[in-house]
Every structure is written in C-alpha cells, then in structure tokens.
C-alpha cells in the first residue's frame, strides 16, 4: 500500500473487527464532509504485549494519546464521523506504514519490503514501537516476524480499510472529504516553539502538500481567536495518515492536529485536569467552524 487508492474494495458487511470504534452523526444531524480520526488514543493492551513487555501497564501508557478520543467525542453532533483506535499504539501504531519495522527487534530476518531505515524506526517508533515516548525499552525479548504479520493483518489493515471507506463515502456524498487526524503531544516536545512558553497546538499539513491552505488557516484562526498559541509543521508535519490520504487533487484534504497534553491532563499520572472541560468546549467551537465551511468550493 504505497499510495491512497480510492478504488480499494469495500469490506464485507459484518466483518468490522474490534480494533476501532466508529461514531456517526445522530439521526437529527446532517453528516458532513468531515472525517475525524484518533489513531493513538486506544487503551486496550493485549495480554501478549503485557507478557512480552519489561514495563508495567502505566509505563506502557506513556505513548498513548490519552483522552483524545474523549476530547473529540462531541464531533458527531457537528456532522463529523469519527474513527478511534481501540488497541494501544504500543501494540501496533496505525499512523505508520504497515512494514515500518526495526530489524534489531526481531529474531529472524525481515523481508526486503520492510522499511527498516525510516527516521521513525531510527527513533524507536516504527509500526511496532521499540520504546515508549519517554525512551524506555518496551520488550524483554526478540519478536518474530510472524508476530508483525499477525498485527498488520489484525490491526493495520482493518483500521485503514475502515478509514478508507469513511473517506470515500464522504467524498462521494459531498464532493470532497476533509480528514483531520487528532493527536496529543508531550509538553516537553514544544518548549521553545512559538515563543518562550511553547505552543498549545501544532498543525501538520506536510508543508502544504496534504490539503488546501484554507483548511489549516481556518483551524489556526479559530484556535487563535480562542487564545491558543498555534504552530505549523514543527515539530510535527503530519504522519502516515496525513501523508497517505492527503490528496488535494483527488478532493481529499488531510490535516494533523497535535494538542499539548499539559492543557488537559497530568502528564505524570495521565489523569484529566481541570483544563479538560474548557478545552473540550473550545474544540466544539472549532468543530462548528469546520462544519459551517463550504468545503465543496475548494
């Protein structure tokens, strides 16, 4: 899967796996061109991961974009369809190419098609991560390539088939699809960005390649009007989902939004703070602005 292909076959009815959840607009709300994704908020940790890990459950959760699915839970009321991963990022990262694997993590040789030299693999954050976000090693044993194959088949393929279907449906219904991939980032990652106090959000559009400029411009201005500090493409320009699906010439526009975790959660305990409710309310303002835009005109 090297490029987003709008003619990929649809999944058979009734075969949707339990690796993600889809929330659609209620019956009294008209569905829009908006498709929201939360690929890193999954908090289901398979027993095989716990058994193979040298870390405890809390340490494993440090790579999780905790509560992002809850932050965007109101989006269907504004016409957006939301897909949220249920399985933990530490098990398999669906915001990566499927075969973005670290050869050093495996007991057997990887096939030639594995992308073992990407910058994300070098950082320990391939599709099967070597480390959690604070740098701790996850595994206490070598994996087998068969384990990677099983995770690709069980997690990556069904998630992206479902996301693909949602994007195609939005484009067919509205003439355009607007895909926004929602994430959270450690506050330490953006200290010094956007001024001495860092920034609150980073918008990634692959430096303009993934969407029409009106999309990040609207999101940026709406957040700024609410008092947030917003940066563009640094340090996050958009991951696999933004790059893979963002095809403006095909009427599919993709944007990644990274939210500073310090705005809404205790980064040590991962518990929501008093800021959660305020951020959630402000996000509704952003959702309303997105829903009100005539995206078919871009």
What are the DSSP calls for 201-223, one per residue? Answer: EEEE-TTTTSS-THHHHHHHHHH
Q: Cα–Cα distance between 268 and 281 in angstroms, integer?
A: 24
State pLDDT tens for residues 53-107.
Answer: 999 999 999 999 999 999 999 999 999 999 999 999 999 999 999 999 999 999 9
* DSSP bridge partners of 78: none
> Per-residue confidence at 5, pLDDT binned at 50, 70, 90?
very low
Residue range 9-31: average pLDDT?
73
Distance in angstroms (rounded) separating the CA atoms of residues 267 and 252: 34
pLDDT in the model for residue 6: 36
List beta partners, residue 179.
Answer: 35, 254
Show the tokens assigned to 270. Answer: 């991962």
Between these two residues, 198 and 155, which has the higher pLDDT value? 155
Give the H/E segment covering residue 232.
strand 230-232
Indicate left, alpha or beta for 231 from its phi (over 0: left) and psi (-120 to 50: alpha): beta
Does residue 108 surpass a pLDDT of 80? yes
Report the run of H or E that residue 34 belongs to, with start and end: strand 34-38
The distance between the two most distant Cα atoms of the chain, rounded to a whole number of Å, is 54
Kindly state the average pLDDT of the residues 16-40. 92
Distance (Å, rounded) from C-alpha 110 to C-alpha 99? 9
Structural contact between residues 79 and 25, judged by C-beta atoms closer than 8 angstroms: yes
Q: What DSSP designation does 65 have?
A: -
Structure tokens at 244: 């893979």
Whose tokens are 């949220």? That residue is 84
Give pLDDT, residue 133: 83
Alpha helices in 175-268, H assignment, sequence order: 214-225, 240-245
Q: Are 151 and 143 in contact (CB under 8 A)?
A: no
**What is the pTM (predicted TM-score) of this model?**
0.92
* Each residue's pLDDT tens digit, 113-155: 999 989 999 999 999 999 998 889 999 999 999 999 999 999 9
Helix (H, G, I), strand (E, B) or coil at 106: strand
* Pairing between β-strand 20-23 and β-strand 252-260 as defined by DSSP bridges: unpaired
Walk across the sheet containing 177-185 and list its strands. 20-23, 81-85, 34-38, 177-185, 252-260, 201-204, 230-232
Question: Rounded to 5 degrees, what are φ and ψ at 289?
Answer: -65, -40
Q: Where are the domains of the chain?
A: 20-92+152-297
The pLDDT tens digits for 249-297 are 999 999 999 999 999 999 999 999 999 999 999 999 999 999 999 999 9
CATH number, domain 20-92+152-297: 3.40.630.40
pLDDT tens digits along 210-237: 999 999 999 999 999 999 999 999 999 9
């Amino acid at each position: 899967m090297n490029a987003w292909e709008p003619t990929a076959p649809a999944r058979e009815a009734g075969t949707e796996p339990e690796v993600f959840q889809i929330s659609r607009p209620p019956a009294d709300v008209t569905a829009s061109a908006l498709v929201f994704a939360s690929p890193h908020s999954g908090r289901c940790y398979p027993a095989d991961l716990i058994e193979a890990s040298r870390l405890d459950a809390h340490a494993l959760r440090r790579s999780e974009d905790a509560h992002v699915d809850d932050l965007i839970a109101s989006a269907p009321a504004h016409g957006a369809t939301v897909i949220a991963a249920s399985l933990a990022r530490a098990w398999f990262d669906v915001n990566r190419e499927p075969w973005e694997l670290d050869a050093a993590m495996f007991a057997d040789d990887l096939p030639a098609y594995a992308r073992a030299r990407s910058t994300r693999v070098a950082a320990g954050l391939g599709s099967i991560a070597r480390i959690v976000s604070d740098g701790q090693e996850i595994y206490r044993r070598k994996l087998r390539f068969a384990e990677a194959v099983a995770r690709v088949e069980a997690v990556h393929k069904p998630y992206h088939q479902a996301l693909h279907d949602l994007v195609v449906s939005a484009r067919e219904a509205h003439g355009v699809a607007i895909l926004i991939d929602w994430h959270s980032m450690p506050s330490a990652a953006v200290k010094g960005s956007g001024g001495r106090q860092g920034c609150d959000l980073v918008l990634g559009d692959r430096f303009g390649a993934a969407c029409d400029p009106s999309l990040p411009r609207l999101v940026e201005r709406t957040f700024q009007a609410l008092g947030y500090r917003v940066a563009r493409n640094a340090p996050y320009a958009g991951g696999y989902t933004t790059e893979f699906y963002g095809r403006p010439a095909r009427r599919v526009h993709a944007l990644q939004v990274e939210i500073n975790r310090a705005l809404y959660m205790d980064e040590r305990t991962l518990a929501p703070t008093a800021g959660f409710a305020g951020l959630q309310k402000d996000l509704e303002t952003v959702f309303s602005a997105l829903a009100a835009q005539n995206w078919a005109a871009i």
